[in-house]
Amino acid sequence: MTNPIKLTAVGDSLTFGTGAPERKGFVWVVQELWRSGRPLDVVHRNYGVVGATTAETLERLLANGELRRAVASADVVTLTAGGNDLIRAAMRMYIQGETRSMKPGMRAFALAYKDLLGELVAVHRTMERDDARVVVTDCYNPFPQVRDAVLWINFVNRCIHRCAASYGGKVLVARSYDAFLGREAHLFADDGVHPNEQGHAVLAACVAEALSSYAEGW
């Protein structure tokens, strides 16, 4: 058996696995998908933090030596970020009753996401290595029943896709928005925000699809 494929997962509660049973979060499912039918092992390190915003994830990446080493040594890095920025901005909007209160939070997200992805790529040396990839997930809509949610989800996802595209094929996007659209009632956990076990399986499939051509080389 060859050396194991090393996956480092960075991000928020989605990476942590919130909403799914233990060891059924999407990162664990991705690991099992890659192991299936292949004579190789896959190991992962999970650095998901429940409730973390994009800026907070960036702060951890800058300050946590263990996390930086795990990112640097990984073959693949996954990132989930943006959902908590959206939720916090939305909460401020509804508490204050002012639509424009979303805008500062969303601008802060856009700047933080650009810096976070840049730091992740730099630590991982993504642009220098032929055997390295970063996969970011875009955001599904956690509030399909809210009229303005699509507007702001689209803003967040445009930022994610634009930042990823600036690195060419070295940063890939797992398209969870499309995969969840119209299926939220079946894919959300009881809290109505996080994916359930089936939803995490869908997220894992999105990540695996984004990396499908790269994984063939294994």
Looking at residue 24, what is its pLDDT?
97
- How do residues 5-17 score in pLDDT, each as one tens digit? 999 999 999 999 9
Contact between 176 and 141 under an 8 Å Cβ cutoff? The reply is no
What residue spans of 47-134 are helical by DSSP H?
Answer: 54-63, 65-73, 83-96, 102-124
Tokens 């996802």 belong to residue: 157
Residue 42 is encoded by which pair of tokens?
């896959």
Low-confidence ranges of the chain (pLDDT < 70): 1-2, 37, 39, 93-100, 216-218
Q: How far apart are CA 141 and CA 176, in angstroms?
A: 9
pTM of the model: 0.93
Q: How far apart are CA 156 and CA 160, in angstroms?
A: 6
Give the DSSP H or E segment for 127: none
pLDDT, averaged across the chain: 91
Contacts of 44 (CB under 8 A, 6+ apart): 6, 7, 8, 9, 27, 28, 30, 31
Contact between 133 and 214 under an 8 Å Cβ cutoff? The reply is yes
**Pick from 87, 153, 84, 80: nearest CA to 117:** 80
